[in-house]
Amino acid sequence: MSTTTTKLTLHEDWAVVILGSLIIILSLAGLLLPVPTFGWKTGADLTGTVLGLANLVKMLLQFVFVAIIGGIGAFITSKSVKNYALGFPLVYVVTILALVLAGSSQAKSLNLEAVIFSLVLGLLISNFIKLPEWLKSSLSTELFVKIGLVLLGTSVIFGDILKAGSLGLIQALLVVTSVWYFAFWVCKKLKVDDEIAMMISSAVSICGVSAAIATAGAIKGDSKKLSYVISMVLITAIPMMIFMPIIAHYFKFSEPVTGAWLGGSIDTTGAVVASGSLVGEVALKISTIVKFSQNVLLGLAAFAISIYWTYTKHPSAQDKDTKPTLKVIWERFPKFVLGFIGASLLFSFFLPPSAAATVKDSLKNLQGLWFALAFTSIGLETNFADLFNRNSKKPLYAFLIAQTFNIFITLVIALILF
């Protein structure tokens, strides 16, 4: 018992800031990983180049580096390093397979990114093979995607954040308030219990998984209900991530409008990044910035929710531990955003262009790898069967109705502002 209480555990968001900064510092110090080749047209290209000895060595070096960084993350966040060491090779191999599939000329002609293959392969494995609990617990989805987001900051010029961020913040305020209240109203109409209603409303309107977790923390929600809401968020993000860029292309929306639409309506940060990358660099940057603008509101939302929950007639209102304080805002604030902004500041104002150009390719390659690893993990931890539970129909209907409203209202706001 004493060991548990004295053990230092670092919050995952702070761990991400440290690990992302470490990768950037090592790169600037000269530790530049060679970038593997995944593009191929013929079987000869595949066996001779992609699966050639020289390229496999590059993949191995990349594996060692990323495994060490992830292992440090597991250690400082008090996850089982042993389980991570056993599970990560599987995640990496599946991710490499996804990268190879995405590298084919056919996949490129269809504009299919590696993250989609990562997700599909992970889903196929998790839904047809019963994975052991230790493997599921070893997955570090949020850690992987947030490290990728910190690295994404190195390619986003800070002026873009200030320019799009003000519009993004206006959009975030409009979307979060309108969608949250609509989602909560729908949940009440369908007689969904208050805990799930609060989690669904926050997940749909703010930032998906992170918002659901923050809301569950603010109201001391049931972990099983939280798990179900997260499953809905992850599964509905898949078709949105794939089809919204196609719809935007069909209606010839501009990249800024498309990015704002994706960033404001898709619930998971990783899915926003993936869908934005399907459209283009501008859409990727705008979608990320808009999503960050919503993330920034997470602390304020958690604080407001905790006040509402505490001072209504819920049983937890009698518990002094749930009484909200101003610390809640800081505790719920997504700290990895600081890492993203710090990386952007560094590459925008403090590094000479020559130094930034030297590390650009290596960091962009690692950024893509972390995102692909995250989506493999999402696939491995998602089970479609959760959505077909008879007792889960009302929350599912409420979630889908609220998400549909979110898609349309966000598009209208994006068209007006961007």
Contact (Cβ atoms closer than 8 angstroms) between residue 202 and residue 180: yes
Q: What tokens were used for 335?
A: 């700290």
- Non-local CB neighbours of 230 within 8 Å, separated by 6+ positions: 203, 209, 212, 213
SS3 content of the chain, % helix, strand, coil (to 5): 80, 0, 20
Query: What residues contact residue 212 under an 8 Å CB cut-off, 6+ apart?
Result: 199, 200, 202, 203, 226, 229, 230, 233
- For residue 246 the two structure tokens come to 């196609």
The predicted pLDDT at position 384 comes to: 67
One-letter amino acid identity for 129? I
Report the pLDDT value the prediction gives residue 1, as an integer from 0 to 100. Answer: 42
Return the number of other C-beta atoms located less than 10 Å from residue 12's C-beta.
Answer: 18
As a whole number of angstroms, the distance between CA 223 and CA 364 comes to: 36
Residues 276/302, Cβ–Cβ less than 8 Å: no
Nearest to 283 by CA among 99, 160, 174, 122: 160
What are the DSSP E strand ranges found in 43-186?
none
Nearest to 374 by CA among 196, 194, 147: 147
The rounded average pLDDT for each run of 10 residues, N- to C-terminus, in the chain (418 residues) is 49 87 92 88 86 92 94 89 91 94 81 76 87 82 82 72 69 88 93 89 82 74 73 80 89 90 83 82 84 73 73 56 61 73 85 85 89 84 64 84 94 88
What pLDDT sits at residue 9?
67
Q: Name which of 215, 361, 228 is nearest 298 in CA terms.
A: 215
Report pLDDT for 4: 41
Q: Within 13 Å, how many C-alpha atoms sit on residue 204's CB side? A: 35
260-299 as b/e: b if 16+ CB within 10 A: bbbbbbbbbbbbbbbbbbbbeebbbbbbbbbbbbbbbbbb
Residue 347 to residue 361: CA distance in whole angstroms: 14
pLDDT of residue 8: 55
CA gyration radius, the chain: 21
Spatial separation of the C-alpha atoms in residues 130 and 235, rounded to whole Å: 18
DSSP classification of residue 305:
H
Has this prediction a pTM greater than 0.85? no
Distant-in-sequence, close-in-space partners of 58: CB < 8 Å, separation ≥ 6: 33, 34, 35, 36, 37
Integer CA distances (angstroms), 263 to 12, 53, 286, 290, 359, in order: 23, 40, 7, 5, 27
What is d(CA 371, CA 141) in angstroms, rounded to the nearest whole number? 9
Contacts 24+ apart (CB under 8 A), 115-119: 115/270, 115/273, 115/274, 115/277, 115/371, 115/372, 115/375, 116/241, 116/242, 116/274, 116/375, 118/94, 118/372, 118/373, 118/375, 118/376, 118/379, 119/238, 119/375, 119/376, 119/378, 119/379
Predicted confidence at residue 2, as pLDDT, reads 40
